[in-house]
Amino acid sequence: MKQLFSRRSFVQSGALAATACVSSSAFSSFAEPSPASGKPLPFRVGLASYTFRNFSRAQLIGFMKQIHVTSLNAKDVKDHLPMDALEEAKAVQDYAAAGIELHAAGAIYFRGDEDAVIRKKFEYCKRAGISVIVAGDPTPETLPQIEKYVKEFDIRIAIHNHGPEDKLFPSPLDVLKSIRNMDPRIGCCIDVGHTVRAGTDLVEAIHAAGPRLFNVHIKDLTSFQSKESQVAVGEGIIPVREMYQALIAENYKGSVDLEYEVHADDPMPGVIGSFAYMRGVLAGMGYINHL
């Protein structure tokens, strides 16, 4: 596979990896603890396929192998996880052959959908063996329909907040207000960047969600007021260590998925740096994983 990042970018990412105190053995999403030191990872470290939205499934799988990530939140973009049943089956087969686990799908949008359309979206995830749907902007009128299918399919819904531009769910706290009396399998996907831009304390949001937190999308910003200030994780001001501590305190067992939305045509330098930093922070907290 053709390398899509420059030597300079690779060297910069390597320097970040060294700064994060992470060795080459840290490039796995979850593994057995070191017999000498360290504890098993408290949660999964995964990838949102939207990060590689301009690349094919084959390229995505190749990139995941390079960064040693085996946990994927897949989206119906390019050919990552097509809605068509036959094409979806081929995608699922490809991921299984590559040792990649599909733990979530999305964001999948539920904007006033009719009952039959909602059912098709649940069937799509059921076929792929996916247990969490990351849901975008379900309207209040749609939530009771979604709850019906949550019960029928036993698939959890994690409503994704989208920051101050989102008129329904700018913050995870807005999600929690809307679902507090619903089935416990309806919860949150906390998008870290959008949460802080909505003026919500990230750590407080994690504690507020508690057992209703089913997925986390991680990104970094240099300004909590600017969506355009996104950078590789570790280069901004998101409190990553404090976020991890809150997740651990809440016994979170889901996935923290990198959603790197900038440099769509050449995301690998930022992706490499982000995973180096994320794993380095975990290593500094005593969590060591190996290939």
83 alpha carbon, distance to own chain's centre: 20
Name, in order, each residue with C-beta under 8 angstroms of 178's C-beta and a sequence gap of 6 or more.
140, 143, 159, 169
- Asked if pLDDT for residue 62 goes beyond 60, the answer is yes
Residue 289 pLDDT level (bands cut at 50, 70, 90): low
Q: Is 22 part of any domain? A: no
pTM, full prediction: 0.87
Paired residues of 134 in beta bridges:
106, 158
Q: Is 31 part of any domain? A: no
The per-residue pLDDT of the chain, averaged, comes to 89
Specify the 3-state DSSP secondary structure of 100. Answer: coil
Where in the chain does DSSP place strands (E)?
A: 44-48, 71-74, 101-109, 132-136, 156-160, 186-191, 213-218, 220-221, 230-231, 255-258
Q: Is 107 part of any domain? A: yes
Q: Is 25 part of any domain? A: no
The Cα–Cα gap between 82 and 207 comes to 35
Residue 104 and residue 80 in contact, taking contact as beta carbons nearer than 8 Å: no
Specify the 3-state DSSP secondary structure of 215. Answer: strand
- Asked if pLDDT for residue 209 goes beyond 60, the answer is yes
Cis peptide, bond prior to residue 74, ω within 30 of zero: no
End-to-end CA distance of the chain: 22
Largest CA distance in the chain: 55
The average pLDDT across 232-251 equals 98
- Asked if pLDDT for residue 9 goes beyond 70, the answer is no
* pLDDT for 211: 98
Q: How many domains does the chain fold into?
A: 1
* pLDDT for 38: 76
Q: Is 106 part of any domain? A: yes
Residue 261 and residue 229 in contact, taking contact as beta carbons nearer than 8 Å: no
Measured at the CA of 71, the angle between CA 65 and CA 77, to 5 degrees, comes to 85
The average pLDDT across 78-84 equals 97
Q: Is 79 part of any domain? A: yes
The Cα–Cα gap between 139 and 155 comes to 19
Q: Is 11 part of any domain? A: no
- Give me the domain span that covers residue 219: 43-284
**Closest C-alpha to 220, from 239, 200, 199, 244:** 239
Query: How many residues are listed for the chain in this entry?
Result: 291
CATH of residue 280's domain is 3.20.20.150
Q: Is 4 part of any domain? A: no
110 alpha carbon, distance to own chain's centre: 19
